[in-house]
Structure 1
Amino acid sequence: MQELVYLNGWTGTFDEATISVNDRGFNFGDGIYEVVRVYESRLFAMDDHLDRLERSAKAIDLDLPWQKQELTAITEELLAESGISEAMVYIQVSRGTAHRNHIYNEEIKPNILVTVRSVPERSPAMYQNGVKLITQPEFRWQMCHVKSISLLGNVLAKNRAHRAGAAEAVFVHPDGTVTECSASNIFIYSNGQLLTHPADNKILAGITRKHVLAAAESLNLPFAEKPFKINELMKAEEVFFTGTIVELVPVVEVDGQSVAGGKPGPVTAKLHQEFTSLRK
């Protein structure tokens, strides 16, 4: 098994891979990306990820020269060559390479990067005992629905959480509305209903989020995509966040205050079990 890189038709190792200092992704964060989970050598929800990649490209006026079938073939070939069965695939498209200038040539050719790496180990305690969150005042741009490689705001929030001994930071608007975490979507369960923020420009609508909602529907669990406030989160019966690599993670503490009774709840566990069943 070997972690591999595909870059504009070239394949090799991470140590061998190079890209121009004039790449607009490097200079401006001018690009988009996806992270796809691989279970038992099978790409999970690849069509969903590529659909979102196309939406992100359209939102930033980036014409993708590859069809979805081509991107899938590139990814599958790299995955097979790597020999890694439990993997995470990173797909990045930058606008292209040119001398640094805010204005780009409409004929610029995009750069494509695909990497295959082993999935990092996840501690069972994270799911058995739950994790801590901190709140973070929202300070990012107004196009969070675009999966942009410009992630400085998210990076700052995630590292503030790490320094505080927390697993995630959850963004809160001035009016108290909770949107999402730095690298995941957040859910609460209250009064017999599952809630998560609507898929608008304030959040990145996660692929795992989509499939968790499908799991809720499969379980006949009432749910709604509507805004909720931080005081509702603090009083919720259960809280969890979702992501491609971590799947569903129960939350038991926010800003040092116990939530959800201080322990993972049965609804989160059932949803995680159903999510696992549906993805097989």
Structure 2
Amino acid sequence: MSRIVYLNGEWLPEGEAKVSIFDRGFLFADAIYEVTAVIGGKLIDYPGHAARLKRSLGELGITSPIDADSLLEVHRQIVARNNLGEGLIYMQISRGPADRDFAFPANPTPTITLFTQEKAILSNPKLETGISVITVPDLRWARRDIKTVQLLYPSMAKTEAMRQNAEDAWLVEDGFVTEASSANAHIVTKEGKLITRSLSTAILHGITRASILDLAHAAGVPTEERAFTPQEAKDAAEAFITSATSFVMPVTRIDGQPVGAGKPGPVTQRLRAAYIEDRCANAI
């Protein structure tokens, strides 16, 4: 059975959902998106995603085509209609269709769509070994704090990582790691301190990142928000990434070099367990 998707107020079989070829999301990547995890049929960290959605729309001057309460109900409905127990909800809002012109149209009608993806988040086999990453130059635009659909370069970086038998890429700018291709990057020093890059326009303001920092503080794990170099990451005791699609995923090799003992570390595992326990308990 095909998935049921949401498009501009309608529930449709995925094969019947059509978007205009003049949509600015298609022509200019003039669109934002959010991905929300679903565990046990419930939404994980949804308030953070809803808040970031509002901020991204505001930064691009796109008017939301749906109010906050209705959007939450659509998320719940799409879970129910697709019987989604574990996986992801992808939501995208574009400025909408308009004649092709670089200037924003005066009164566009935004396009909104949501679809689900089944995915094993809690039992990912890579949790046992961790993932391997390579480092590549960060050649993206400078407003990475806006969660736009401009994802070609991250796709290129991840594809290059796979070509080199790695799972992901860490992007490097001015000698410092910004983030992974689709996740925030973190290290744990040999002294047990969690280091993660501070918020700015250089990185996405990750919802899982914010949750992990809150949980680290509550658990007494010392933290520091600052940039770190690839070499510092390679010399660290542990490394990991955070995202809505993987929660907390250990990184055990960087550019072919083992991180710490070359296996998932205790701080990473502790924070992942705390995140799952806390966020699942507070899922909506």
TM range (shorter): over 0.9
Report which stretch shifted further, 259-268 or 193-202.
259-268
Q: Deviations over 1:199-232 (max 9, x none)?
A: 1111112111111112211211111211111221
Between 112-121 and 227-236, the greater mean CA deviation after superposition? 112-121
Q: Taking structure 1 as reference, are residues 202 and 26 closer, same or farther at Cα in structure 2, changes over 3 Å only?
A: same
Q: Which residue identity lines up with residue 36 of structure 2 in the other structure?
A: V
1:98-137 equivalences in 2 (<5 Å)? 98-120=98-120, 124-137=124-137
Give the unaligned 5+ runs of structure 2: none
Give 2:85's aligned residue: 85
Q: Which amino acid aligns with 2:231?
A: N
Partner of 1:217: 217
Is 2:178 the counterpart of 1:156? no
Is the 1:238–1:260 Cα contact (8 Å) retained in structure 2?
Answer: yes
Q: Residues 123 and 165 of structure 1: is their aligned pair in 2 closer, same or farther, counting only changes over 3 Å?
A: farther
Distance 1:162 1:120 in 2: 20
Deviation track 1:245-271 (CA, whole Å, cap 9, x = no partner) reads 211111111111222221111111111
**1:23·1:94 contact (CA, 8 Å) conserved in 2?**
yes
Report the Cα offset of residue 2 of structure 1.
Answer: 5.5
- Contact kept in structure 2, 1:6 and 1:115, CA below 8 Å: yes
Deviates more, 1:123-132 or 1:19-28: 123-132
- What letter is aligned with 1:186? A
The residue correspondences of 1:140-151 to structure 2 (distance < 5 A) are: 140-151=140-151
Q: How far is the alpha carbon of 1:124 from its aligned partner?
A: 4.5
Following the alignment from structure 1 to structure 2, what is the Cα–Cα distance between the partners of residues 103 and 124? 44
Written as runs of structure 1 = structure 2, the 5 A alignment for 1:17-36 is 17-36=17-36
* Alpha-carbon distance between aligned partners in 1 of 2:134 and 2:104, rounded to the nearest angstrom: 39
1:196-235 alignment, distance < 5 Å:
196-235=196-235
Q: 2:141, 2:238 → 1: CA distance? A: 29
Would you say the 8 A contact 1:251–1:260 is kept in 2?
Answer: no
- For residues 196 and 97 of structure 1, do their structure 2 counterparts lie closer, same or farther at Cα, with a shift above 3 Å needed? same
Distance in 1 between residues matched to 2:260 and 2:250, nearest whole Å: 9
1:169-202 deviation per Cα after TM superposition (whole angstroms, max 9, x unaligned): 001113x111100011111001221010111111
SS in 2 for 1:269: helix
Counterpart of 2:251? 251
Is the CA contact 2:121–2:245 (under 8 Å) kept in the aligned structure 1? no
Which residue in 1 is equivalent to 2:276? Answer: 276
Provide the secondary structure at the position in 1 that maps to 2:14: coil
CA–CA distance in structure 2, aligned partners of residues 209 and 4 of structure 1: 30
C-alpha contact 1:2 1:84 (8 A) present in aligned 2? no
SS of equivalent residue, structure 1 residue 232 = helix
Q: 1:43: which partner in 2?
A: 43
The Cα shift of 1:12 comes to 1.6
| Residue matched to 1:183 | 182
The amino acid of 2:128's aligned partner reads: Q
- Distance between the aligned counterparts of 2:249 and 2:10, measured in 1? 37
The alignment's C-alpha RMSD in Å is 1.5
Counterpart-to-counterpart distance in 2, 1:121 and 1:268: 16
Match for 1:278: what amino acid? Answer: D
TM-score, reference length from structure 2? 0.94
Determine helix, strand or coil for the equivalent of 2:132.
strand
Q: Contact 2:136 / 2:169 at 8 angstroms: preserved in 1?
A: yes
What secondary structure is seen at the aligned counterpart in 2 of 1:242? strand
**What is the CA distance between 1:244 and its match in structure 2?**
0.9
Mean Cα displacement is larger for which, 263-272 or 72-81? 72-81
How far apart, in 2, do the equivalents of 1:8 and 1:65 lie? 8
Give % identity.
35
User: How far apart, CA to CA, are the structure 2 residues paired with 1:39 and 1:13?
Assistant: 23
| Pairwise CA distance, 1:164 | 1.1
